[in-house]
Structure 1
Amino acid sequence: MEKKEFQHIHLIAIGGSIMHNLALALHDKGLKVTGSDDEIYEPAKSRLATAGILPEQEGWFPEKLDAKPDAVILGMHARADNPELQRAKELNLPIYSFPEFIYEQSRDKQRVVIGGSHGKTTITSMIMHVLQHLGRKFDYAVGAQLEGFNHMVKLTDDAPVIIIEGDEYLSDPVKRVPKFHLYHHHIAVISGISWDHINVFPDPDMYRDQFRIFAEMTPKAGTLIYNQDDEQVQLVSVPRNPADIAYIGYSVHDHSIRNGKTILHTKKEGDVEVQLFGEHNLRNLSAAKEVCKKIGVKGHDFYEAIKTFQGAAKRLQKLGESTTANIYRDFAHAPSKVKATTEAVKKQFPQRDLVAVLELHTFSSLNKNFIPQYAGALDLADEPIVYFSPKTIEHKRMEMLTEDELKAAFKNQNLKVYTDTEALQQHLLERQWQQANLLLMSSGTYNNINLEALTQAVLKA
């Protein structure tokens, strides 16, 4: 079936992180783009306004659909009873979720989909960095704003391959299917499986099952690249038909740490110094290397390109450094990622104290039934700190947490618990930062803490 041609596309919930990037990508492609949303925040607001496609006012306006766009794309944070969605159905317009539309636009391309509970943004961005470094044409859809790329989505007519970060979360409020089931990959990666999204997948088996389905969707002559060190991944990646599908396991790239620098050891290229660190990232690097090899990138070219990779935003992102202290920010919130990130910073700088501050922000991380998954996650921190906002718990209508419950769940009696941003800031500023690193882990904002000001203050302390 040929790819459909569109002239006018309407996005319901255009203000979302990935949705506004899709809108910008379609606008760049020369299509007419309209959309609606009941709330549009920065940076989406300014970016859409600059492109001339910001809705005139916030809210839902079913009459916008009377222009009969060629396609309607439904964002995840629209409700199933959205009035514009109802009008689109009445008019019998083609309605797509984000992943369905990406698939529609990439039917004639080789589709590489990176799945996993953690590491998928980093692996996707590594592959994109290498391909861009080599001047290769490629399309992409990734869940973070990356250095050197204008948008999180790019769709062209001539790129032969598309690199997609394959999220296991639901595609849209109607079909409620995991996004990565809808891309129909040729090459798939499973980077790790660690129970998450408890509000959608209430038990670990149901969650893991989504990855089993993803693995089993690998077509004849397709490739499944998987983390062979992860027991949960092994359960879903057992070769079913090795004659038809290439199964490629990967592990941590051979390396050593010298004076806080990571050196890769390779057979043909010798030692290669890279800017990223941590065993989880060196495992991610191995996954990216296997994907690149499959799409025709030579080993020499991969290593040459990866030397300049600085990491994805908020993934062990260095906010600042002095001669005796470094400050990092990481998106880590799932237990396995918190453990891996804490371990990475401690192993890279074993002689320095590590202050690790984790914000509990997601539905899963604030759920009393889920929190025991964090047992031991902060053990390698010299000073483990957990922060959460009572307002977030109230907003999510969840049961309040206590300090004793958190210490018991983390199995760490040294744990300090803060529920007030100013008190947390005060504590960090009063601390000595000689030979100490600060690691901030959150998918939130610590209740709008000014990280730039905090960084400057800590480095002067």
Structure 2
Amino acid sequence: MRIHFIAIGGSAMHNLAIALHKKGFRVTGSDDVIFEPSSTRLANYGLLPKENGWFESNITADLDAVILGMHARLDNPELIKAQEMGLKIYSYPEYIYEQSKYKLRVVIGGSHGKTTITSMILHVLNYYNRDFDYLVGAQLAGFETMVKITDSAPVIIIEGDEYLASPIDRRPKFHLYKANIGVISGIAWDHINVFPTFEDYISQFNKFINTIVEDGKLIYCKNDLELRKVVVNSNATIDKISYTIPNHEVIDGVTYLLPQHTPLQVFGDHNLMNLNAARLVVEQLGINEDDFQKAISSFTGAAKRLELLNHTKETSVYKDFAHSPSKLKATIDAVKAQFTNRKLVACIELHTFSSLTKEFLQQYHNTMKKADIAIVYIDEKTFKHKKMEPVSENDVQTSFNDKNIVFFSEAEQLESYLRSLNFENTNLLLMSSGNFGGMDLVKLALELNV
């Protein structure tokens, strides 16, 4: 098979390119810019384009398929030529389905927790040396790539994103996989540039339920009221299996599952609900609860999901991907509940299109109330890059309903402020889907004033 990737540098795209290369396909690709770690990882497999840019000469009649990434635009010259030549053009989720349509497909959807649930399932299956394929949205310890596609594996575990599949396919990605076992972790409005109303966003999850194959299974969180309404009102002919927070206790900052008293390396109600979702999935794959608990006790978390950067007897520093209102509040609540005797400095970088929109900013109302010091950072260059009207400190404080929020728009000033604080008996939580203006978070974590 000869496959060409348009916009090969994307996170999922370059991992799929590597997976198909390892499968024995002839893979080429192009992009106008490729950042790390994609660049080095593509180079290691001989897949890095010789030069950046789009070139019509890359599109030839002997291509079996073209895979189109979201980074490409509708006027991309390679896309236009492929269309003119009548070549088969896939989005990456479409091609994942094409490669897995004879496998059992587990698809994890939801506004939050997708990566963690997927990671937990992968960890348990890997612990027992199961043969499986996967697509996950973060780099995991013990897994070389974020995508694996083989001919032999009978099952594939897919993190199902609700964002659009490609510039020419405006369906949410998770609609394309046709799950045998579907998971929905919860519903909290996101991607307002694509789904301008909450009702439109909710409808995508109803459509996802209807894509689950007949007599398939849906595993869902019954703690989420919006999700519960969607599931109750669904007429899909599938089994509906609910989950909630498992019985547990916290002793000296460690969470234990009951009644077996299994110690965990993750914490917080959302992580515990994610764990229950993963348990129900692997139960469908033949792994019982006792074996699940044995395996999950060694799970340390997905990258950037309450990732511990450094800790002392009095301070823990965490990095988290939280950026939406529900994720922000849940992450702050989790750290406060785990360390009841410590103060918390919580810092979020508003980075996504949704979070920088003044209308949507109001969704952050009261989300940081449990933080002892609440900090909001917005890189001033982000507004120029996204061609958006800047929001002010007053806009942020009003929307968050907190006049004590400390606001920064320059990374150097934020870092200086954090270094000036005393972190004795205090935790630091750094949350962003961006990179805090290039700040070295690990170095910061090691050098804080404790």
Partner in structure 1 of residue 291 of structure 2: 301
CA change 1:42–1:55 in 2 (3 A) is same
Q: 2:257 aligns with which of 264, 267, 270?
A: 264
CA distance in 2, matches of 1:238, 1:295: 25
CA change 1:397–1:240 in 2 (3 A) is closer
Is 2:62 the counterpart of 1:68? Answer: yes
CA distance in 2, matches of 1:134, 1:419: 47
Is 2:278 the counterpart of 1:288? Answer: yes
1:80 CA displacement:
1.3
Within-5 A mapping of 1:71-150: 71-150=65-144
1:50 CA displacement:
1.0
Partner in structure 2 of residue 391 of structure 1: 381
Q: 2:303 aligns with which of 313, 318, 324?
A: 313
Q: Answer yes or no: is the 8 Å Cα contact 2:61–2:85 preserved in 1.
A: no
Q: 2:240 aligns with which of 234, 242, 247?
A: 247
CA distance in 2, matches of 1:452, 1:274: 24
Partner in structure 1 of residue 323 of structure 2: 333
Q: Answer yes or no: is the 8 Å Cα contact 1:36–1:59 preserved in 2.
A: yes
Q: Answer yes or no: is the 8 Å Cα contact 1:224–1:246 preserved in 2.
A: yes
Superposed CA deviations along residues 396-430 of structure 1, whole A, max 9, x for unmatched, are 12122121221111111221111111111111111
1:233 CA displacement:
0.7
Q: Answer yes or no: is the 8 Å Cα contact 2:108–2:159 preserved in 1.
A: yes
Q: Answer yes or no: is the 8 Å Cα contact 1:76–1:173 preserved in 2.
A: yes
Is 2:268 the counterpart of 1:278? Answer: yes
CA distance in 2, matches of 1:453, 1:308: 26
Q: 1:196 aligns with which of 185, 190, 198?
A: 190
Partner in structure 2 of residue 30 of structure 1: 24
Q: 2:47 aligns with which of 50, 53, 57?
A: 53
* Secondary structure of 1:144's aligned partner: coil
Identity of aligned residues (%): 53
Q: Answer yes or no: is the 8 Å Cα contact 1:25–1:153 preserved in 2.
A: yes
Q: Answer yes or no: is the 8 Å Cα contact 1:186–1:222 preserved in 2.
A: yes
CA distance in 2, matches of 1:408, 1:423: 22
CA distance in 1, matches of 2:47, 2:393: 47
Partner in structure 1 of residue 392 of structure 2: 402
1:184 CA displacement:
0.6
Partner in structure 1 of residue 352 of structure 2: 362
* Secondary structure of 2:347's aligned partner: strand
1:321 CA displacement:
0.5
1:235 CA displacement:
2.1
Partner in structure 2 of residue 11 of structure 1: 5
Q: Answer yes or no: is the 8 Å Cα contact 1:215–1:236 preserved in 2.
A: no
Q: Answer yes or no: is the 8 Å Cα contact 2:136–2:158 preserved in 1.
A: yes
Q: Answer yes or no: is the 8 Å Cα contact 2:346–2:371 preserved in 1.
A: yes
* Secondary structure of 1:257's aligned partner: strand
Q: Answer yes or no: is the 8 Å Cα contact 2:347–2:430 preserved in 1.
A: yes
Superposed CA deviations along residues 282-306 of structure 1, whole A, max 9, x for unmatched, are 0000110111111111111111100
1:239 CA displacement:
5.9
CA distance in 2, matches of 1:223, 1:97: 26
Is 2:156 the counterpart of 1:166? Answer: no
Q: Answer yes or no: is the 8 Å Cα contact 2:206–2:234 preserved in 1.
A: no
Partner in structure 2 of residue 183 of structure 1: 177
Q: Answer yes or no: is the 8 Å Cα contact 2:248–2:258 preserved in 1.
A: yes
Query: Residue type matched to 1:272 in 2?
Result: T
CA distance in 2, matches of 1:327, 1:109: 41
Partner in structure 2 of residue 4 of structure 1: none
Give the TM-score normalised by the residue count of structure 1: 0.96
Q: 2:443 aligns with which of 426, 429, 453?
A: 453
Q: Answer yes or no: is the 8 Å Cα contact 2:265–2:297 preserved in 1.
A: yes
1:68 CA displacement:
2.1
The farther-off stretch of 128-137 and 76-85 is: 76-85
Query: Residue type matched to 2:375 in 1?
Result: I
1:272 CA displacement:
0.6
CA distance in 1, matches of 2:235, 2:38: 45
Q: Answer yes or no: is the 8 Å Cα contact 1:327–1:438 preserved in 2.
A: yes
Q: Answer yes or no: is the 8 Å Cα contact 1:103–1:182 preserved in 2.
A: yes
The farther-off stretch of 311-320 and 290-299 is: 290-299
Query: Residue type matched to 1:362 in 2?
Result: T
Is 2:335 the counterpart of 1:345? Answer: yes
* Secondary structure of 1:171's aligned partner: strand
* Secondary structure of 2:165's aligned partner: coil
CA distance in 2, matches of 1:415, 1:274: 33
Superposed CA deviations along residues 308-359 of structure 1, whole A, max 9, x for unmatched, are 0000000000000011100000000010000000000011001001000000
CA distance in 2, matches of 1:311, 1:452: 17
Q: Answer yes or no: is the 8 Å Cα contact 1:68–1:93 preserved in 2.
A: no
CA RMSD in angstroms, aligned pairs only: 1.1
* Secondary structure of 2:144's aligned partner: coil
* Secondary structure of 2:123's aligned partner: helix
1:456 CA displacement:
1.4
Mark the runs of 5 or more structure 1 residues left unpaired by the alignment.
1-6
* Secondary structure of 2:73's aligned partner: coil
Is 2:427 the counterpart of 1:437? Answer: yes
